[in-house]
Structure 1
Amino acid sequence: MAPLLRVRSVRQQDRARRDPRVSEFRFSPRPNRANEIQWRSWGDAAFGEAREQNKPVLLAISAVWCHWCHVMDETSYSTADIINVINDRYVPVRVDNDERPDVNRRYNMGGWPSTVFLTPEGEIIHGGTYIAPEPMWQALNGVDEVWSTKREEIARGVAELREKEAAARKPKSGELSADIVDTIGALVRGQYDPQFGGFGRAPKFPQVRLLRFLLDEYRRHGYPDLAHMLHKTLGAMAAGGMHDKIEGGFFRYATTREWNVPHYEKMLEDNAELLAVYAEAHRTFPEAGYDRVVRDVVRWMDAVLWRDDVKAFAGSQDADEVYYELDGAGREKHGAPFVDKTIYTNWNALAVSAYVAAADALADDAIEERAHQVVRAIAARMVVSPERQLMHFDRGEGPRVADLLGDWAAFLQAALDEYETGKHRPALAGAIQAATTMRERLEDTADGGFFDAPERAEPGRVALREKPIEDNALAADGLLR
Structure 2
Amino acid sequence: MTQNQNDTNQDKPDTIMWRSWNINAFNEAEQEDKPILLMLTATWCHWCHIMDTTTYDDGTIAQYLNEHFIPIRVDSDRRPDINERYNMGGWPSTAFLTPSGDTLTGATYIAPDDMRHVMQQVRDVYTQRRDYVNQQVAHVRSQAEAQQPVLLLGAKPTMSVVSTVTQNILKIFDPEFGGFGKMPKFPAPDVIDFLLYQQRFENDDNQIKIVEKTLGSMSTSDIFDQIDGGMFRYSNGIDWTDPQTEKVLEVNAANANNYLHAYQVTKKAVYLNVAENLLSFIEQHFLQKSGAYFAASQAADQEYFSQDKIKRGTTNPPPIDSTLLLDASAQTISLFFYASWLLNNKHYEILALKCLDFLWEEMWDQTKGAYHYWDITAQVTGLVQDNAHLCKALLDAFQVTGQKTYLNRALEVAKVIEDQFHSEDGTGYYDLAEEHEDLGYLRYRRKPLAENAVVANVLITLMHITENRSVGPNAAEQTLGSFLQQYDKIGHFAANYAKAVGRLLNATLKYHIVGDPDEEKTQELIKQCLLENYPYKIIRTLSPTEDISVLEELGYESNEDPVLYIRVNERSSAPITQTDAIHETSIEMLDSSLT
TM-score when normalising by structure 2? 0.74
Q: Which residue of 1 is the match for residue 458 of structure 2?
A: 478
Q: CA deviation at 1:169?
A: 2.1
The answer as to 2:441 corresponding to 1:461 is yes
Query: Is contact 1:65–1:316 with CA below 8 Å preserved after alignment?
Result: yes
SS of match in other structure, 2:445: coil
Aligned letter for 1:476? A
The partner residue of 2:298 within 311, 317, 320 is: 317
CA distance in 2, matches of 1:166, 1:354: 38
The answer as to 2:149 corresponding to 1:163 is no
The answer as to 2:258 corresponding to 1:272 is no
The partner residue of 2:342 within 348, 358, 361 is: 361
Q: Which residue of 2 is the match for residue 415 of structure 1?
A: 394
Aligned letter for 2:8? V
Q: CA deviation at 1:418?
A: 1.0
Query: Is contact 1:352–1:375 with CA below 8 Å preserved after alignment?
Result: yes
SS of match in other structure, 2:432: coil
Q: Which residue of 1 is the match for residue 360 of structure 2?
A: 379
Q: CA deviation at 1:384?
A: 3.2
The partner residue of 1:103 within 71, 77, 82 is: 82
Mean Cα deviation higher: 469-478 or 320-329: 320-329
Query: Is contact 1:408–1:434 with CA below 8 Å preserved after alignment?
Result: yes
CA distance in 1, matches of 2:397, 2:130: 55
Change (3 A) 1:210 1:170: closer
Q: CA deviation at 1:388?
A: 5.2
The answer as to 2:213 corresponding to 1:232 is yes
Q: Which residue of 2 is the match for residue 138 of structure 1?
A: 117
The answer as to 2:423 corresponding to 1:431 is no
Bigger RCO of structures 1 and 2 (CA < 8 A, at least 6 apart): 2
Q: CA deviation at 1:457?
A: 3.4
Q: How does 1:251-330 map to 2 (within 5 A)?
A: 251-287=232-268, 289-309=270-290, 311-330=292-311
SS of match in other structure, 1:449: coil
CA distance in 2, matches of 1:120, 1:201: 39
Query: Is contact 1:58–1:118 with CA below 8 Å preserved after alignment?
Result: yes
The answer as to 2:43 corresponding to 1:57 is no
CA distance in 2, matches of 1:54, 1:301: 47
CA distance in 1, matches of 2:71, 2:266: 52
Q: CA deviation at 1:208?
A: 1.1
CA distance in 1, matches of 2:291, 2:117: 47
SS of match in other structure, 1:76: coil
The answer as to 2:373 corresponding to 1:393 is yes
Q: Which residue of 1 is the match for residue 329 of structure 2?
A: 348
Query: Is contact 2:151–2:427 with CA below 8 Å preserved after alignment?
Result: no
Change (3 A) 1:78 1:418: same
Q: Which residue of 2 is the match for residue 118 of structure 1?
A: 97
Q: CA deviation at 1:357?
A: 1.5
CA distance in 2, matches of 1:350, 1:130: 30
CA distance in 1, matches of 2:179, 2:292: 34
Structure 1 alignment gaps of length 5 or more: 1-7, 24-32
Query: Is contact 1:272–1:354 with CA below 8 Å preserved after alignment?
Result: yes
Q: Which residue of 2 is the match for residue 5 of structure 1?
A: none
CA distance in 1, matches of 2:72, 2:14: 12
Larger Rg over CA atoms: 2
Change (3 A) 1:421 1:35: farther
Residues 245-293 of structure 1: per-residue CA shift (max 9 Å, x gap): 1121101111100012211000111111111111111111112521101
Q: Which residue of 1 is the match for residue 572 of structure 2?
A: none
SS of match in other structure, 2:401: coil
Query: Is contact 2:233–2:248 with CA below 8 Å preserved after alignment?
Result: yes
Residues 315-352 of structure 1: per-residue CA shift (max 9 Å, x gap): 10111111111222211211111000011111110001
Mean Cα deviation higher: 48-57 or 165-174: 165-174
Query: Is contact 2:199–2:208 with CA below 8 Å preserved after alignment?
Result: yes
The answer as to 2:203 corresponding to 1:222 is yes
CA distance in 2, matches of 1:222, 1:430: 36
CA distance in 2, matches of 1:263, 1:349: 25
Aligned letter for 1:199? F
Q: Which residue of 1 is the match for residue 49 of structure 2?
A: 70
Query: Is contact 1:451–1:466 with CA below 8 Å preserved after alignment?
Result: yes
Q: CA deviation at 1:425?
A: 3.3
Residues 194-238 of structure 1: per-residue CA shift (max 9 Å, x gap): 100000011100011111121122122122111110000011111
Q: CA deviation at 1:299?
A: 1.1
Change (3 A) 1:126 1:281: same
CA distance in 2, matches of 1:380, 1:402: 15
Residues 123-157 of structure 1: per-residue CA shift (max 9 Å, x gap): 11100001111111110111111111211112112
Which segments of structure 1 move beyond 6 Å, counting only runs of 4 or more? Answer: none
CA distance in 2, matches of 1:439, 1:317: 35
Query: Is contact 1:34–1:78 with CA below 8 Å preserved after alignment?
Result: no
Aligned letter for 1:22? T
Aligned letter for 2:23? D
Structure 2 alignment gaps of length 5 or more: 462-595
CA distance in 1, matches of 2:364, 2:437: 21
TM-score when normalising by structure 1? 0.91
The answer as to 2:388 corresponding to 1:406 is no
Query: Is contact 2:8–2:16 with CA below 8 Å preserved after alignment?
Result: no
Aligned letter for 1:463? R
Mean Cα deviation higher: 98-107 or 464-473: 464-473
Q: CA deviation at 1:22?
A: 3.5
CA distance in 2, matches of 1:303, 1:310: 10
The answer as to 2:8 corresponding to 1:22 is yes
CA distance in 2, matches of 1:323, 1:296: 20
Query: Is contact 1:198–1:206 with CA below 8 Å preserved after alignment?
Result: yes
Aligned residues: 456
Aligned letter for 2:43? V
CA distance in 2, matches of 1:35, 1:426: 55
Q: Which residue of 2 is the match for residue 336 of structure 1?
A: 317
Q: CA deviation at 1:475?
A: 0.9
The answer as to 2:151 corresponding to 1:172 is yes
Change (3 A) 1:291 1:423: farther
Q: Which residue of 1 is the match for residue 504 of structure 2?
A: none
CA distance in 1, matches of 2:304, 2:140: 45
CA distance in 2, matches of 1:34, 1:102: 32
CA distance in 1, matches of 2:339, 2:13: 42
CA distance in 2, matches of 1:377, 1:479: 24
SS of match in other structure, 2:379: strand
Q: How does 1:437-452 map to 2 (within 5 A)?
A: 437-452=416-431
Q: Which residue of 2 is the match for residue 30 of structure 1?
A: none
Q: CA deviation at 1:168?
A: 2.5
CA distance in 2, matches of 1:45, 1:83: 21
Q: How does 1:180-195 map to 2 (within 5 A)?
A: 180-195=161-176
Q: Percent identity?
A: 32
Q: CA deviation at 1:353?
A: 0.9
CA distance in 2, matches of 1:388, 1:145: 43
CA distance in 2, matches of 1:360, 1:279: 11
Mean Cα deviation higher: 435-444 or 418-427: 418-427
CA distance in 1, matches of 2:115, 2:174: 37
Query: Is contact 2:264–2:342 with CA below 8 Å preserved after alignment?
Result: yes
Q: Which residue of 1 is the match for residue 72 of structure 2?
A: 93
